[in-house]
Structure 1
Amino acid sequence: MIKATIKIVLDNKARSDGSYAVCLRVLKNRKRKMISLGLKCNRANFNNGMFTKNHPNYQVENEVLLNMQARALRVIREFQAAGEDFTLREFEQQFRPQEETSSVTIYSFWEEKVKDLEIAGKAGNARAYRDVKNSFFKFNNDKGIGFKELDTKMLDKYETYLRSKNNTNGGISLKMRTIRALFNSAINKEVVSIEHYPFKTYKISKLKSAPEKRALSLDELSLFKELNTEENPHLIDAKNYFLFSFYTRGMNFMDMLKLRWTDVRNDRIVYTRSKTGKRFVIKILEPVQTILDYYRSLPSNTNYVFPLLLKENMTAMQIEYRKDKTLKKFNRDLKEIAKIQGIQTSITSYVARHSYATFLKEKNVSTDKISESMGHANLQVTMNYLKSFSNDDIDNANDKLLEL
């Protein structure tokens, strides 16, 4: 006798509004499958597989649950009567036919993906998914389309639309990779079959372009450092942030944003990079100490080193939005500095990181040492930072910057 048990339960994970999805739990051969029934409720309004009287429309929705339970039992009996064993996936296909699961719209699935990322505290990823969603539905404002309709032809038209909006290959590639990840997630959740996967024929690799290697020359760096902040006091932060990043192995702006005074320990800065989770211990060079002394002398209501996050206990999304706002100002100020000082290279926050790698290479520091100092996963990533031109420990290599 084929044995399987079913029970109506709440999902373990709360939704963004604090409610829980109502699911059919199927157990067979010590394996479990949770099938969403399209209903939700607060945990306090659910007991023993049924809605309590405090749940809105509890009588009607309890009848729905009873019907679904009866349907699940009927599916099991049909397999038993035929003497056929079945997998949990086959059970779901019989219980909830494919046309029902495929009725999930791209828009609703995308919205749920963003909410899940926000709940998980992955604010940067959530924002990236939301930005691409907004872009895609400006191109196609039909929020009722399903994944089967997202074919190669539609992706080609979306690419044409993005080019008409002056998107670069890099920007288009980023958006397409986000859509591909969303489609893969839909396949994994059996919302759509893999046979409808459009990225077998639409190749994102065609959008690959050579990475832009932008670093300041030695003369340009000297011009940058010579900016008179007494004449341009509104640019002092931008000058300090850029040089701080340069002299701390190209520290990323997000990590500078979240850097605390407790991370400054004697003659070292100790922090964990947000992007990779890698721990850094960086020797404080004299220019960095000067910058730290300047910000330590300023009044502040937080324990952050830089006046970028203006209050404690901000949520991940609040930090993400604050990062976006302050980074835009930082980059605008850098362009103003370049104009004042006659620097031809287009400067952004990331140029500090590229410049760090390039100057060490010009001082004959080995590429593997530069790669280790920047926390790269492999040498190819480091090569993307270096200009095409032609040792102890990392601290000694870093000291070479003072020779410039």
Structure 2
Amino acid sequence: MGKITFHVDLDNRVKKDGTQNIQLRITQAKKKLRVAVGFSVQKIHWNDEKKEVRRTHPLHSQINNTIKSKLLEVERTYLKSQVTSRKVTASTLQKQLKKEIAGESFVQYSKLRAQQITNPSSRSACKSVLSNLDVYLKGKDLLFEEIDYDWIKDYERYLKKLSNATNTIYNNLKPLKASYNEAIKSGLFEPDKMSPWMRYEGKKAKSVRTRLTIEQIALLEKLNLRPGTNKFQAHNFFLFSFYLQGMRVSDALQLKWANIINGRLEYKASKTEKSRSKKIIQKAAEILNIYRKPRQKPTENIFPFLKDLKESQFADDVWRKKLERLPQ
């Protein structure tokens, strides 16, 4: 059948988040088979010469240990076959490796996948979903093979019994579906039949938002509050966000004077990581003048809620929780 060789490299396909899957390439008689090891990184974090993740990546030690472990396992299996004269093909090793990496555990795979989500908000939401799943499983594991249409419906009914709204149930099941399908796409798992998620139709209700009327906004504008009080700060903060077309609270909290450029507000939305540019209307400019000081530093926050807190002092998840508690 020919000699089998093993190499580690990055998948050529770049995912939406800018990362590439780390994969083990198994070659036999010019036939190449690939297996993703369960992690993906940006190319800047990959040392192609050493075939390992650079120290610049926060999970470099964990990922490199996983790579070495899986590579050692298939090499050991291959060498053992040579001694015992048992025929082992690249395809056999590929299937074995897929099973070992996924561990057949949907929970384990999903938690590893959640750690790789770069957006703090999305990562926290995914971890919350998996935490809810852990409660449902009562400490038991959940294998890929155990997830079928009936299991999905059972979990949906469980979420309903907890009095969760339709959209909450949808948001708890959506990440599980994405994780399951990602495992299939990356070659970590192959269902015997089509994905059970293909049969499941998740429901999402249209959100009904209560909006303030123009008259109510006018009343808020006329409020006469004592400067420096919490009510005064919250009042200005809300109106400024309203004048800027409804900025997210987390984005408005982190605004700095450097974001004010030529009469426009230039910033990057924390949830979507997309750049935003909005014209500062007169009423918003008047609020800015309340907080403007002589010799204003560009790095200073516009609003006082964060005080001396700096994002660089905290891990992403911790920083996000602090933002959620503000303003108080």
Under a length normalisation based on structure 1, what TM-score does the superposition of the two structures give? Answer: 0.59
| Residue correspondence of structure 1 range 281-320 to structure 2 within 5 A | 281-297=277-293, 303-309=300-306, 310-314=309-313, 315-320=315-320
Contact 1:75 1:91 in 2 (8 A): no
Q: Distance in 2 between matches of 1:30 and 1:258?
A: 53
SS class of match (1:131):
helix
Residue aligning to 2:216? 220
Classify the secondary structure of the residue corresponding to 1:7.
Answer: strand
Q: How does 1:56-67 map to 2 (within 5 A)?
A: 67=76
Answer yes or no: is the 8 Å Cα contact 1:151–1:196 preserved in 2. no
Per-residue deviation at 1:9? 5.6
Q: CA deviation at 1:76?
A: 12
- Confirm or deny: 8 A CA contact 2:36 2:186 kept in the other structure: no
The answer as to whether partners of 1:244 and 1:291 remain within 8 angstroms in 2 is yes
Confirm whether residue 174 of structure 1 aligns to residue 175 of structure 2: no
Correspondence 1:153 to 2:172: no
Report the equivalent of 2:125: 128
> Deviation at 1:131?
0.4
* TM-aligned CA distance change 1:69 to 1:326, over 3 Å: farther
Determine the structure 2 residue equivalent to 1:68: 77
Distance 1:75 1:305, change over 3 A: farther
Distance 1:231 1:145, change over 3 A: same
For each residue in 1:213-266, what CA deviation from the matched residue of structure 2 results, as whole angstroms up to 9, or x when unmatched?
421112221222233322993222322222111111222223213322111123
Mapped to 2, the partners of 1:23 and 1:3 lie a distance apart of 22
Where in structure 2 are the equivalents of 1:323-334 lying within 5 Å? Answer: 323-326=323-326, 329=328
Distance in 2, matches of 1:326 and 1:307, equals 11
With over 3 angstroms needed to count, the CA separation of the structure-2 counterparts of 1:224 and 1:156, relative to structure 1, is farther
Determine whether 1:197 maps to 2:232.
Answer: no
Instruction: State the Cα deviation string for residues 156-201 of structure 1 (Å, max 9, x = none).
Output: 2322222232211111111111111111122223343242622122
CA displacement, residues 93-117 of structure 1 (integer Å, 9 cap, x when unaligned): 2x4485x566432221122112222
Aligned in 2, Cα 1:275/1:76: closer, same or farther, shift over 3 Å? Answer: farther
1:155–1:65 CA distance, 2 compared to 1 (3 A): closer
Which residue identity lines up with residue 193 of structure 1 in the other structure?
E
SS of the equivalent of 1:313 reads: helix
The one-character-per-residue Cα deviations of 1:11-39 (angstroms, maximum 9, x if unpaired) are: 99xxxxxxxxx9854236485625659xx
Quickly say closer, same or farther: Cα 1:276–1:9, change in 2 above 3 A: closer
Instruction: Write the letter of the residue equivalent to 1:303.
Output: E
Query: Could you tell me how far apart the structure 2 residues matched to 1:62 and 1:156 are?
Result: 38
Relative to 1, partners in 2 of residues 1:78 and 1:265: Cα closer, same or farther, differing over 3 Å?
A: same
- Pair 1:240-2:223 in alignment: no
Partner of residue 356, structure 1: none
**Structure of greater Rg:** 1
* Two-structure CA RMSD over aligned residues (Å): 4.1
| 2:183 maps to which of 183, 186, 195 | 186
What secondary structure is seen at the aligned counterpart in 2 of 1:6?
Answer: strand
Query: For the Cα contact (< 8 Å) 2:24–2:71, is it kept in 1?
Result: no
TM-score, L = length of structure 2? 0.71
Q: Structure 1 residues 62, 259: CA separation in 2 closer, same or farther (over 3 Å shift)?
A: closer
Does the C-alpha gap of structure 1 residues 89 and 129 become closer, same or farther in structure 2, counting only changes over 3 Å?
farther
- Alignment-derived partner of residue 33 in structure 1: 34
- Structure-2 separation of matches of 1:285 and 1:185: 45
The C-alpha deviation readout for 1:25-58, integer Å capped at 9, x for no partner, is 4236485625659xxxxxxxxx99xxxxxxx9xx
Q: 1:279 aligns with which of 259, 275, 279?
A: 275
Give the Cα separation in 2 of the matches to 1:159 and 1:184: 18
> How far apart, CA to CA, are the structure 1 residues paired with 2:71 and 2:175?
39
- 1:326 is paired with a residue whose SS is coil
Hey, what does 2:47 align to over in structure 1?
A: none
Structure-1 separation of matches of 2:97 and 2:33: 16
Matched residue, 2:255:
259
Cα distance between partner residues in 1 of 2:239 and 2:288: 11
Query: Which residue in 1 is equivalent to 2:322?
Result: 322
Mapped to 2, the partners of 1:124 and 1:75 lie a distance apart of: 52
SS at match of 2:278: strand
Aligned 8 A contact 1:101 1:192 in 2: no
CA distance in structure 1 between the partners assigned to 2:320 and 2:253 by the alignment? 10
Query: Aligned partners of 1:263, 1:103: CA distance in 2, in Å?
Result: 47
Distance 1:214 1:223 in 2: 17
Q: Specify every segment of 5 or more residues in structure 2 that has no aligned partner in the other structure, as ranges.
A: 12-21, 39-49, 52-64
Are residues 218 and 73 of structure 1, via their aligned partners in 2, closer, same or farther at CA, if it must alter by over 3 Å?
Answer: farther
Paired residue total: 286
Gaps of 5+ in 1: 13-21, 38-46, 49-55, 81-87, 330-404
- What's the CA shift for 1:295? 2.7
Which structure has the highest helix share of the two?
1
For 1:144, give the aligned amino acid.
D
Deviations 1:60-79, CA, capped at 9 Å, x for gaps? x9996752341577999947
CA separation of 1:126 and 1:226: change in aligned 2, threshold 3 A = same
Question: Residues 64 and 32 of structure 1: is their aligned pair in 2 closer, same or farther, counting only changes over 3 Å?
Answer: closer
